[in-house]
Structure 1
C-alpha cells in the first residue's frame, strides 16, 4: 500500500485508483489521474451517466468488489460513507480521499476556500471578482460547479497558470481530506443542514470545521462570530483566526454600522462601501461581503480592488433574485434556499406581505413550524408543493392561509392568483429540488418562465 502521508513525494504513476461516482468531479478526477500516469477505475451506481466513460475502465449499475482492487479510493461528494463498498474499503485499510484533496496534491498555487450553510456561492463569486479586479490570474473551482481536478489537470498541461484558486467547498468535499490546506479560508455560518446525510448536527459541524484541519501560522481563517456555533469553537483561537460581526466592532480589518462597511486608516474611519451602493441587499449579504473582503485583505488584495468588486457585483441567479412584477406584485426566485435558515434570510429581506412557496424534497426531518418568521403577520399565505409539501402543510398549524399542490407549476400559478397589488410572491422552498427537477437552477428557471409567461 502506498504512503500518501508525505504530500511532496506523492506519485500516481502506475497506481490503481478507484473512483466512486461518475459525475463531473469523478470524471475530472479520472482525467487528472490519467494525466499523471495512474490507472483510474470509475464505479457508478446508476446505469446511465451524462459523460462518456469509454476512455476509462469503468462499471455501471452498482459498485462491485472490483472497486476494492486499488491503492487509493476517490469518493465523489454525493456518495456517503455509509454505503457498503466504502465500509469494506475502510476495513481493507484503503485510503479514501475527496476529489479536492486529490487535486490539491498537484498544485502549489494558493487556495482561498469558502464554506458555510448559506451564502457560499455569492461569497465565492465576490472573492473571485476581487481577485480579478486586483489583476490576479485566478480560477474559480469546487462546489460552484467546476471540479478542482479539471483546472489542476489544465495547469499541469500548461493550459493555465493560476496565481490563486478561489474555491467553494461543501461539507461533503471536506469529509475526506488529508493535506488540503487553503492559504485563506472562511466559514460564513453554520445551521442544521443535510441531516439526511449526517446522523446529527454535530457530525455536519465536524465536517465543515475540517477546513481548518491543516491551518498554519502563516494562513488565515475568517469566521462569523455572530454565529453561536462558530463563536463557541473559535473565540479563543490564535490571531490568524479573524472574526467578523454585524453586532460589534471586531479586530477584523473591516467592520459595519447602520449605513456602511468601513475600515480605519491612521485612526480615521473610511468607508469601504455604503449599503445603498451595492446590489447585494440584506444583512446576510453584508456578512457575505465582510467574509469575502476580509479574505481578500488577508491575501493582500488592495482595498481599492475590494471596494470596486463590491460595487460592481451582480447578484447571483436563484438567490432572492427579482423575477418580475405582475400588476403590482413582485416575484422573487430564491430556489437555492434548501434549508430553514435560507428561508429565514429571505423572509427577513422584505417588509411587505409575502406569499411563500415551500416544498420539494426534504433533507431529513425539518420542522418548519419552528421557523418564527413564518408565524407573523408578514406571511400572508403559504403554498406547499412536491414530495415534502403535504408533510410541511400538516406541520403549519399556526398558519391560517395555506394550500398544498403536488405539482410545482400549479403551486406557482396558485400563488400568482392569490396575490394582490403590493404583495411579494417568494419562492424560497426550504427543500432540495430533486423530486421534480434535476437541480435548483432548473426549478428557479421554471419559476421565472411561469412569471414571464404571465407577463407576456
Structure 2
C-alpha cells in the first residue's frame, strides 16, 4: 500500500468524490486541503482545511492533487498544475493505490448503473464481498477506507466509470473492463465525438496484462486492436456467431444463449425491457461467469432484478395510461433506446439543458409512428421544437411542472406518458434524480386529484 503520511494533498471539488478522497487521505495521515468553487460551505467538509467559492493559489501548495470528475481539466487553474510539475490524479486513481483487491470497471454512454448494479447483486448472492462504487454515487475512496478499517480480505470492487473519471486515470489497474456502448454525449465538455470516445477507450489501457476486456460488438470501433496481452470477449444482441468462447453470450429478442447456443435466460421473465437492457444483461452475465460458475444464481438474480429509479421506472398505470420515469436519459441515444420499448401512442417529454448540438430530428425519423405528441420544456426546449416543427405534433412549455400537467391532460387510454428528456437537468433541477422525483410527485398528485 502506498504511503502518503504527511503528504500535502489538494482535493479539487467537494462533492461525493472529493469528500471521499479527503476522508481517505486524512485517515491515512495526509495533510489535506479541499478547494471547492461552490459558494455554499458544505458541512461534510468543515472537518478539513478548506476554501469555498474560489480556487486560490493555495491549491498549488501540495505534493499532488486529486481532481473531482465534475471539474473540466481544460480550465486554466487545472492546467497550471502541469506547468508547475505537480501530479494530478482522479479520485478513482488515487483510491486504487490502497487496495490489492480485484477491480471490475464498467463504462459506456448508457446502461452503466444498471449493469454494475446487476453484477454487484449477482456477486453478493454468490457469496462474494462485492463493493459497488464510482459514478453510481458511492465514493470508491470510502469503499477502500471501509476495506482497510475492517481488514477485508476477499473484496471485489465493482466500479461504474464515466468519461470524466477516466480522463485522469493513469495508475488504475483493472482486472476486468467492460464498455457497453458509446454514443454522442457530453459534447459541451469535449471538442468532438472522437475526443469523447478516447476518454472512454482509456479503460482498455488500464486493464492489467492477463485481464479481460468485454465489449459490445454492435459497436465495431470498441474492438481492441492494440492490446495483445489481454483477453478480448464480445457480447451482442444482434447476431448469432458460430464460434463462441466460454464467457461469451448473445441474445435475440426472447432469450439469452451461452456459447453452446443453449437458452439460459427467458428475457420475457425479466423486469428489464428493451434491447438496450438486454445488452446490459449480457454484459452482467459475461462478467459474473468469470467469477462464479453457478448459472442458476446468475439467472435467478437477473430475473428478480428491478429497474433502478429514474430508468424506465413505471410510476403508475391508471385509466389505461402508463406513466414512465426515464429521467436518467440525459442524451439522445438513451431516449432512442427507451422509445424502442414501445409500439405506439407515446407522449414524449423532452428538454432541459442540451449537452451539445444534438440532432433531435432523429427521434421522428426513427419513431414517427410511435409518437403521438412531443412536449418540450426548459432551456433547450424551444430549439428542440425548431428541429421537429415540420415532422411532428409538438408543444413547447417552459416550466417542467406545466409541461407534465399538459402531457397528462392530453393522455387518453392506451397512451404512454414517457419522461425521457434526452438532456441534462441543470436548467431547472440539481440533478436527473430531482427531476425524476418531481415527475413522480406531479403524476401521483394529479392522479390522486382525479380520484376525488
TM-score between both structures, scaled by the size of structure 1: 0.93
| 1:368–1:396 CA distance, 2 compared to 1 (3 A) | same
- Residue 372 (structure 1) shift: 4.7
One of 229, 233, 254 as aligned partner of 1:259:
254
| 1:80–1:239 CA distance, 2 compared to 1 (3 A) | closer
1:404 and 2:396 are equivalent in the alignment: yes
For residue 11 of structure 1, give the secondary structure of its aligned residue in structure 2.
coil
Contact in 2 for aligned 1:220/1:240 (Cα 8 Å):
yes
For residue 433 of structure 2, give the secondary structure of its aligned residue in structure 1.
helix
Q: Gaps spanning 5+ residues in structure 2: where?
A: none
1:145-189 CA distances to partner (integer Å, 9 max, x unpaired)?
110001111222227555201111111111111221221110000
One of 231, 238, 244 as aligned partner of 1:247:
238
- Residue 235 (structure 1) shift: 9.8
- Residue 301 (structure 1) shift: 4.7
| 1:18–1:193 CA distance, 2 compared to 1 (3 A) | same
Cα RMSD (Å): 1.8
Q: Which segment drifts farther, 400-409 or 213-222?
A: 213-222
1:207-260 CA distances to partner (integer Å, 9 max, x unpaired)?
1111111323421110001014324x5599677110111222342532223421
1:292 and 2:284 are equivalent in the alignment: yes
- Residue 271 (structure 1) shift: 2.2
One of 337, 343, 366 as aligned partner of 1:345:
337
1:394 and 2:386 are equivalent in the alignment: yes
- Aligned-partner Cα distance in 1 for 2:126–2:11: 37
- Aligned-partner Cα distance in 2 for 1:238–1:249: 27
- Aligned-partner Cα distance in 1 for 2:149–2:61: 29
- Aligned-partner Cα distance in 1 for 2:133–2:151: 16
Q: Gaps spanning 5+ residues in structure 1: where?
A: 1-7
1:189 and 2:181 are equivalent in the alignment: yes
One of 421, 428, 432 as aligned partner of 1:429:
421
- Aligned-partner Cα distance in 2 for 1:331–1:96: 45
TM-score between both structures, scaled by the size of structure 2: 0.94
- Residue 335 (structure 1) shift: 0.3
For residue 143 of structure 2, give the secondary structure of its aligned residue in structure 1.
helix
| 1:62–1:301 CA distance, 2 compared to 1 (3 A) | farther
One of 126, 142, 160 as aligned partner of 1:168:
160
Alignment of 1:202-221 (within 5 A): 202-221=194-213
| 1:133–1:373 CA distance, 2 compared to 1 (3 A) | farther
Contact in 2 for aligned 1:359/1:392 (Cα 8 Å):
yes
1:102 and 2:90 are equivalent in the alignment: no
1:12 and 2:7 are equivalent in the alignment: no
| Residue in 2 that maps onto 1:72 | 64
| Residue in 1 that maps onto 2:265 | 273
Contact in 2 for aligned 1:369/1:397 (Cα 8 Å):
no
Contact in 1 for aligned 2:147/2:155 (Cα 8 Å):
no
For residue 213 of structure 2, give the secondary structure of its aligned residue in structure 1.
strand
Q: Which segment drifts farther, 116-125 or 251-260?
A: 251-260
- Aligned-partner Cα distance in 1 for 2:409–2:139: 42
| Residue in 2 that maps onto 1:158 | 150
- Aligned-partner Cα distance in 2 for 1:49–1:398: 48
One of 304, 308, 326 as aligned partner of 2:300:
308
One of 22, 37, 49 as aligned partner of 1:45:
37
Contact in 2 for aligned 1:220/1:298 (Cα 8 Å):
no
- Residue 109 (structure 1) shift: 0.9
For residue 355 of structure 1, give the secondary structure of its aligned residue in structure 2.
strand
For residue 213 of structure 1, give the secondary structure of its aligned residue in structure 2.
helix
1:59-83 CA distances to partner (integer Å, 9 max, x unpaired)?
1111011111111110000000121
